[in-house]
Every structure is written in C-alpha cells, then in structure tokens.
Amino acid sequence: MNVKICTHDFNPWQEVQTFQQSQLGSLQGKIGATCLFVGTMRDFNDGHDVKGMHLEHYPGMTEQQLEKILNDSIAEFSVLQAFIVHRVGDIFPDEPIVAVAVWSSHRGDAFDACRLIMEDLKSKAPFWKKELLTSGEARWVKKNTTGYQKDL
C-alpha cells in the first residue's frame, strides 16, 4: 500500500527516503524526477489564531480513497510511483500534516501529478478538522471534504 496514516508526528523526509529505499529498487535508472510536497499546520485560519487541531478520518475508507487518488494520478500522468503519508489526531503548528511524493521519468509529470494528488486529497478524502483557537474556543472547520460533511 502506498498510503500511510500516522497518529503521531512524523518526519516527512525519512518517510519518503524509507519508501524509496524499500519500494523503488526495480525502477533504478528510470526515475528522472521526484516531486515532494509537505503540508504543515499553520497557527492561523480564517482570521483567527490557532494553537492546535484535531484531525479525524474514517479508517479504511480514507485509505481506500487515498489509494484511488494515487491510482488516478498514475493513470493521468506518466508516474512511476507515488506515496502519501497523512497525519490524524492532535496536531500543532509547524508539525507536518501530509507528505506526497511522486516519482516519474520527467519533471512535468511529477509536478502535475503531485499537484493533482494534493488537490484531490483536499476535496475527496474523508478528513475532518476541529481547530482549537488561542481564545479557548474549539470549532469544526466548515470547509471540509466535499461530500463528507461532519455534523457541526
């Protein structure tokens, strides 16, 4: 499986290196580009200061949807391999939330596929964010994944 859900802080560089070393041996000499995106938590959203968030997912369904997103990008672009690591649970500013890596023969396909994966992940994968504001208020982020709205 090329999808990993973490309930703890992770090192995106180590995750990608480990995946590359264990899964890409058969692609030696074929990889001409690697595109890596790392998303981290900000300390602000919608004009408010945020000190943390709780990210929920639908176990099983989330991994299945993320695999579909990867497979769709592989079908659309000349991608040799792709990988997603996504965090759930309690997350704090500056901690990584997601890492997406794409390996391809050419940079254009790697860049385009990485962007498509992130855009699809943000709009199609079942994740829900509850922010903890510095004011002490907790709020569900209303702009969650389309089709997977959590009752607020």
- Nearest in space to 97 (alpha carbons), one of 77, 124, 127, 68: 127
**CATH architecture for segment(s) 3-11+30-40+58-126:** Alpha-Beta Complex (3.90)
Instruction: Give φ, ψ of 44 to 5 degrees.
Output: -150, 155
pLDDT score of 142? 82
pLDDT score of 145? 58
The number of helices, as runs of H, and strands, as runs of E, in the chain is 3, 9
CA distance 130 to 140: 4
Instruction: Give φ, ψ of 114 to 5 degrees.
Output: -60, -45
Give, for 115, the enclosing helix (H) or strand (E): helix 107-124
| pLDDT of the chain, 152 residues: tens digit per residue | 799 999 999 999 999 999 999 999 999 999 999 999 999 999 999 999 999 999 999 999 999 999 999 999 999 999 999 999 999 999 999 999 999 999 999 999 999 999 999 999 999 999 999 999 999 999 998 876 555 555 55
CA distance 143 to 125: 13
Token output for 62: 């989330």
pLDDT score of 134? 96
